[in-house]
Structure 1
């Protein structure tokens, strides 16, 4: 008489677990621009965001900061990996689609990839942000310094 009660309790516990897991999966939200801004603010509290653009799949965000620097955020589940792009630490080229950028981070190679945007205008704007943070050494600066 005890075994049917034990089996019934195990079945009820299994059903309860499955329903709770299903509900938790349904409640888990995908990252969005608002959570990206909050995560970047937590990672870099002294940096003020001037503009932000998401990739077409919203898995990555490029950030223009107040002082001309740029930032990058990659979505990993429900949080973001935030990266402040240092001058001279990024290589940018146009993707074949025309709506994207091929980005190579010298100090964080695992973030390298082709990032597609909603249109070519956004990709061009982000490339200007990244090139603005590039800050290459100019031969004219070297001549002026001498």
Structure 2
């Protein structure tokens, strides 16, 4: 008489576990641009983001910072690995597709890889950020230099 009750309890516990697991999987969301910005802000609170571009699969984000520096974020599950790119510590070349970049981080080799973007224009803009070629000058900087 006890065995049917034990089996019934096990079936109910299994059903409950499966429903809770299904609900947790449904509630789990993929990282997005908003969570990337928040994670970068937590990792580097003194850096202000001016622009951000995601890769085509949204697994990585490249950021342009307020002072001309660049940053990188790679998605790992529900969080991001954030990296502040130092000048001269990155090598960039075109990916064969024309819409991407092959990036080598001299100080963080585990992030090396080929990153595809939505368009060749976005890839070109990100490459300028990474290489430090994009140095905006305002009219105030030009006036104060005279």
Instruction: State TM-score, norm by structure 2.
Output: 0.90
The separation in 2 between residues aligned to 1:134 and 1:45, in whole angstroms, is 23
Number of matched pairs? 135
**Is this contact kept in 1: 2:100–2:120, CA < 8 A?**
yes
TM-score normalised according to structure 1 size: 0.90
> Residues of 1 paired with 2:106 and 2:132: CA distance?
16
The 1:133–1:73 alpha-carbon spacing in structure 2 relative to 1, beyond 3 Å, is farther
Alpha-carbon contact 2:68-2:134 (below 8 Å) kept: no
C-alpha distance in 2 between matches for 1:131 and 1:91 = 8
Distance (Å, rounded) in 2 between the aligned partners of 1:34 and 1:82: 14
| Structure 2 residues not aligned, in runs of 5+ | 136-146
Query: 3-state SS of the aligned residue for 1:10?
Result: helix
Contact 1:69 1:133 in 2 (8 A): no
What is the rounded CA distance, in whole Å, between the counterparts of 1:4 and 1:45 in structure 2?
59
5 Å-filtered alignment, 1:1-146, equals 1-132=1-132
Q: Deviations over 1:93-136 (max 9, x none)?
A: 0111100000000111110000000000000000000011799x
| Paired residue secondary structure (1:50) | strand
CA–CA distance in structure 2, aligned partners of residues 5 and 89 of structure 1: 66
Q: Which aligned runs of 4 or more in structure 1 are off by greater than 4 angstroms?
A: none
CA deviation digits over 1:38-59, x for unaligned, max 9? 0000000000000000000000
- RMSD across aligned positions (CA): 1.4
